[in-house]
Structure 1
């Protein structure tokens, strides 16, 4: 038996022709491009909605500059950073107050 290739078959995916630009409504100040280097000895994979400063410590990049940002990639996808390799990635700002409590515990500043 052969699987049905009909666009009306159960489970068929129907898409409109054309291209979809993700996060098209974002202003220039809500976008950022950074270089990330995996200084570790193992691959690191970052998912689409991880607050980038909370990423694996083996990844080297300007964490302060990326506060409130995530990767600008489709939802549910990820980017893999191979050991010793640098990669330029596009980021997009989180919406709202850009706060992501609970992922990493920040040291309290005593003064």
Structure 2
């Protein structure tokens, strides 16, 4: 067996007696989940949802994370920033969406909770006084 094949199988756990077993569902710290699927942001109303087309007009790939206030995204992304005020991507926490150069994609957005404000990512002059006052 070639070294590359052997390493590949070891990484996958095949033919590797030292490969760890799946964690027990009764051990301390175990994660137990109910059967079925989870719908993200299921409690959100229609006015807390939005769909927009985003185009990467730049020459490099751009990723947008799950919690980024969308209007503060890279300026090479072309979309209706005013409509996106107070919104983020409607994707699982900790994930992101990648936009290749020239790519265009319709995305689902969900409103931020609370005041729908995220000061400090790209501080605008009008916001600086308000942030300083708390």
Unaligned runs of 5+ in 2: 1-17, 127-134
Partner of 2:130: none
Q: Which has the higher helix share?
A: 2
Tell me the C-alpha RMSD between the 2 structures: 1.8
Verify: 1:61 aligned to 2:93, yes or no: no
1:29 maps to 2:47? yes
Question: How many corresponding residue pairs?
Answer: 108
Unaligned segments of structure 1, at least 5 residues: none
Greater share of residues in strand: 1
Whole-Å separation in 2 of the counterparts to 1:53 and 1:99: 11
Matched, 1:95 2:95: no
Distance 1:42 1:10, change over 3 A: farther
Match of 2:36 in 1: 18
Say yes or no: does 1:46 pair with 2:67.
Answer: no
**1:3 aligned counterpart, secondary structure:** coil
* TM-score, with length taken from structure 2: 0.74
CA contact (8 A) 1:7 1:14 kept: no
Highest CA radius of gyration, 1 or 2? 2
**Residue 78 (structure 1) shift:** 0.4
| Structure 2 SS opposite 1:53 | helix
TM-score (norm 1): 0.88
Residue number in structure 2 paired with 1:7: 24
Could you say which residue in structure 1 is the equivalent of 2:104?
86
Greater RCO (CA < 8 Å, at least 6 residues apart): 1
